[in-house]
Amino acid sequence: MKDKYKYSTSQLLNFAQDSYFERTSRPIYAIVFLLPFIIFYEVGTILINTDVLNQSQIRVVAFVWLQNLLESLGFGGKFAWVAPPLAVVVILTALQITSGKQWRFWFGDILPMAVECILLAVPLIVLTLFLSSSGGSQGDIGRFDNSAIRTQTESLPSCSSVTGSSLSSSSGQAGSVEPGQSVLANIVTGIGAGIYEELVFRLILICVLMLLFQDALKLTHKNSIVLSVLISAALFSAHHHIDFLSGQLNPRDPFNWTEFGFRTIAGVYFAVLFAIRGFGITAGTHAFYNIIGVSITARFFQ
């Protein structure tokens, strides 16, 4: 029967029924797998290094976008704070229902998923180390930008964007913090960026672009995927340097071609990964990339 196993809106490949790759690409798997990351980010933002986070007013940009959208719809400030994680769960639940895929879940798949995410993060880590060694001698590429506390030392570039002013970790300056506190704050924001940037630029944006190209403009499935991947990657990279809501340049992240190129490549990588493996693995890979990047930066660059 033609189209017996119908493509989902953003899925490029379909795997054998009930195989590991098919199971772990289901939205229900994304919910269960990412729930500890979501809880860690929410609790960590409140409890871990609270003074630093409050003074620097650092928030993941994509998270703030969701907050602002909900507030504009009339939701109160307190609800707007908890609504973004609820939005992740609600959207994934809706996708699970509409996909018609099985709800069955094997907890034994969690550890292999984590290992897969770490392995998938390795190519980006290798690329950042290469860029830092070959193109980052002037410090342009040598900056881990999702840090809640910007330091003056060299570090790895990130695939995440935050809002707010930064605090120096140098002693004797206002708002100075301990290096260990900085690492914890960076891990918290890195995990949040992994989830909410993937929600905005992959889960939402790519699905919207697929509906536009495939359903409205009647392009082929694969052509729609290619266009959606390229457009989402370019916008993902650009949002680190430009505040889309105000149209102003981001003073915390001045534009340069090396970083823009790296993030565009990373955007394509995450988009292709999303199209093949689904949201859970993609967001987990993004989060683990940031965690590994923070750890390498703390150990070798500071």
pLDDT tens per residue, the chain (302 residues)? Answer: 444 444 444 455 677 888 999 999 999 999 999 999 999 988 888 776 455 444 434 456 666 666 666 666 666 666 666 778 888 899 999 999 998 889 999 999 999 999 999 999 999 999 988 887 765 433 333 343 443 323 333 445 555 544 443 333 333 333 334 555 578 888 988 999 899 999 989 988 988 999 999 999 999 988 988 899 899 999 988 887 787 666 677 767 777 888 888 889 999 999 989 988 999 999 999 999 999 998 888 887 66
**Residue 29 lies inside a defined structural domain of this protein:** no
Task: For residue 197, give its domain range.
Answer: 38-97+110-168+177-301
| pTM for the full predicted model | 0.78
**Residue 48 lies inside a defined structural domain of this protein:** yes
- Rounded (10°) CA dihedral 134, 241, 253, 165: -160
**Residue 11 lies inside a defined structural domain of this protein:** no
Count of domains observed in the chain: 1
CA 202 to chain centre: 9
Q: What is the distance between the alpha carbons of residues 175 and 126, in angstroms, rounded to a whole number?
A: 33
**Residue 260 lies inside a defined structural domain of this protein:** yes
**Residue 24 lies inside a defined structural domain of this protein:** no
Length of the chain: 302
**Residue 19 lies inside a defined structural domain of this protein:** no
**Residue 8 lies inside a defined structural domain of this protein:** no
**Residue 55 lies inside a defined structural domain of this protein:** yes
